[in-house]
Amino acid sequence: MKRIFLTLSIAFSIAAVQSCGNANNDSKKTADSINEAKAPENMDDNDMVTTPVAVNEEDAKFVTEAANGGMAEVELGKLAQQKGQHADVKAFGEMMVKDHSAANDELATLAKAKNITLPATLGTEEQKLRDELSKKSPGDFDKSYIEDMVKDHEKDVKIFEDASKNLKDADLKAFVDKTLPTLRSHLEHAKSVKDKLK
């Protein structure tokens, strides 16, 4: 019975990922569901439906959260390069695209090795933020973007600090410990740009 449920759960999750056009679909939640179904602690010994993820469920959730956040930083960074008026905002956006693209690529390689499904598109909240920022007037964009970057990086630093203490997988922990100083630097940089825009 559990095997049938697992098969249906994976099939449903894959179908949900493929229907990215659906406005109610949250790619991060879908990825979490797929990873939950593949988590070793949720599979019976008889389950040969799919290869399990090579980490526990909590570690996999961190990966989807980090991937979703990294994807958002790149998308919002591109937007800042297009809509930003202040040179420092444009430069910050460029840094976000460069640094987070590199981190995203590294995380994607790790996720593939661990059989972790990543979000295919931005999560609902991140897409909503992108849409809201894209509608801002050029004068309002810079302040709103940088304020969001400060809040977002405060949140990211906290998530990564917690992950550094709590992750079980050594490879993921090494990624976190390597990435954390960059996130802290981004936070300080965002704060300094915010001060210039006052």
Q: Which CATH architecture has domain 56-196?
A: Up-down Bundle (1.20)
- Any idea what DSSP says for residue 86? S
Domain ranges, ordered by start, for the chain: 56-196
Query: Crossing angle of helices 57-83/138-166, nearest 10°?
Result: 160
Interatomic CA distance for residues 60 and 54, integer angstroms: 9
Q: Does residue 2 sit in helix, strand or coil?
A: helix
pLDDT for position 46: 53
Interatomic CA distance for residues 86 and 96, integer angstroms: 16
| Residue 65: other Cβ atoms inside 10 A | 19
- The pLDDT mean for the chain works out to 83
pLDDT 10s digits, 17-43: 333 333 445 777 777 777 676 666 655
Q: Is 161 exposed, middle or buried (0-12, 13-18, 19+ CB in 10 A)?
A: middle
pLDDT for position 36: 73
